[in-house]
Amino acid sequence: MGDAALKNDAPKKKTGGLAGIVAGETEISAAGGAHNLEYRGYSIYDLAEHATFEEVAYLLVYGYLPKQAELDGYKNKLRALRDIPQSLKEVLERIPRDAHPMDVMRTATSFLGNVEPEGDDNCQEAITDRLIAAYPAILVYWWHFAQTGQRHDCVTDADTLAEHFLTLLHRGKPSDLHIKAMNVSLILYAEHEFNASTFTARTIASTLSDFYSAVTGAIGALRGPLHGGANEAAMELIRKFDTAEAATAGVKEMLATKQLVMGFGHRVYSEADPRNKVIKEWSRRLCEEGGKPELFAVSEAIETLMWDEKHLFPNLDFYSASTYHMMAIPTPMFTPIFVMSRITGWAAHIFEQRKNNKLIRPSADYTGPEKLDYVPIEAR
């Protein structure tokens, strides 16, 4: 990563949260401006409309859209990697029922780093494929065991990751509509330039640390409600209201008391999140098909109010919440689904960082006291 913008002699300006700072170059995705959002030059609209998540994963991890034979081979490879080691199942069984599933994802990633460590016979691409394939089982194995004490199978014969995850979770074949919606959601969540978790992964990779450490750190960054955790927080908000009117009044009150409304706003976009219009249509479709039009109406009322009052727009997390809810996915699983998808983007960035590595280590303006006399402990 070129880090010219972070050098000591860079122009001094207020850079709270590094907003507006270009912290390096990437070939992996472009967000904002005329790009809207593109993965390696391909519009997310085309990918969401025509591709499967596996194609997008291949694009991000291996650098180009696969030919049919390559995609078939890749899907077979991922299918063969779905099961998880017995030792990991035992670890998962010890994680308390009331743990947050993001902590389960973080612990499982870290544990896998012990039993399948990165090394000569386990390269970064192989680990990426392994994590993509194993995350659904990790999440759902723990979930079922924690809820019921039962040990369920981690493998299915599902064709895609979207179908595999929903099949494991609901212990039955999902509808084609739900498979498609999940597939689109995984595509939209896959990659997003130098977001906080990706930057975390790159920072860790830049110290020449191992792949699992970079991903474990990224999961920690994603967990917070200002980042990936916003989709869960959005659901908690939406479910409070039965009607559009109640939602408008309730969110107005939140704004009056200066509360953040999760699922709105974005650091990179100022007028709209390009992913929103895709996921919003899926939310509309699933709410209508599932007989819960009021859930969509509540969401839209909040969107209208946020725009009218604050000129803030929904980001990908907002309508993802109702979309997942309509697939009967428990709310605490929303951010872990983000992990299942974003592992592809994180991996691509870790590879890119390693290819042209430079330690990421910015500087700070010191604002504390200076030249104090040391006071012996007994005199303080």
Which parts of this chain interact with ligand COA (CB under 6 A)?
A: 17, 19, 226-227, 230, 260-267, 310, 312, 315, 317
Query: Shortest distance, CB of residue 360 to ligand COA, whole angstroms?
Result: 20
Query: Shortest distance, CB of residue 104 to ligand COA, whole angstroms?
Result: 21
Query: Shortest distance, CB of residue 228 to ligand COA, whole angstroms?
Result: 7
Residue (320 or 353) nearer to ligand COA, CB: 320
Residue (26 or 315) nearer to ligand COA, CB: 315
Query: Shortest distance, CB of residue 151 to ligand COA, whole angstroms?
Result: 35
Where are the strands (E) in the chain, listed by range? 29-31, 37-39, 42-43
How many CA within 13 A on the CB side of residue 311?
3
Tokens of 303: 């969107």
Please, what's the b/e burial string for 62-93 (b: 16 or more CB within 10 A of its CB; e: otherwise)?
A: beebbeeeebeebbeebbebbebeeebbebbe
Indicate if 35 belongs to the active site.
Answer: no
The dihedrals phi and psi of 353, each to the nearest 5 degrees, come to -60, -45
Tokens of 152: 């369920």
3-state secondary structure 262-329: CCECCCCCCCCCCCHHHHHHHHHHHHHHCCCHHHHHHHHHHHHHHHHHHCCCECHHHHHHHHHHHCCC
Indicate if 100 belongs to the active site.
Answer: no
Residue (39 or 143) nearer to ligand COA, CB: 39
Tokens of 94: 């010890």
> Of 164, 178, 266, 349, which residue is the catalytic one?
266
DSSP assignment of 179-210 equals HHHHHHHHHHHS--TT-HHHHHHHHHHHTT--
Query: Shortest distance, CB of residue 226 to ligand COA, whole angstroms?
Result: 4
- Taking CB atoms, the residue at the shortest distance from ligand COA is 265
> Of 164, 273, 317, 349, which residue is the catalytic one?
317
Indicate if 227 belongs to the active site.
Answer: yes
Residue (138 or 262) nearer to ligand COA, CB: 262
Residue (24 or 265) nearer to ligand COA, CB: 265
Q: How far is it, in rounded angstroms, from Cα 90 to Cα 25?
A: 41
> Of 35, 152, 170, 227, which residue is the catalytic one?
227
Residues known to be catalytic = 227, 266, 317
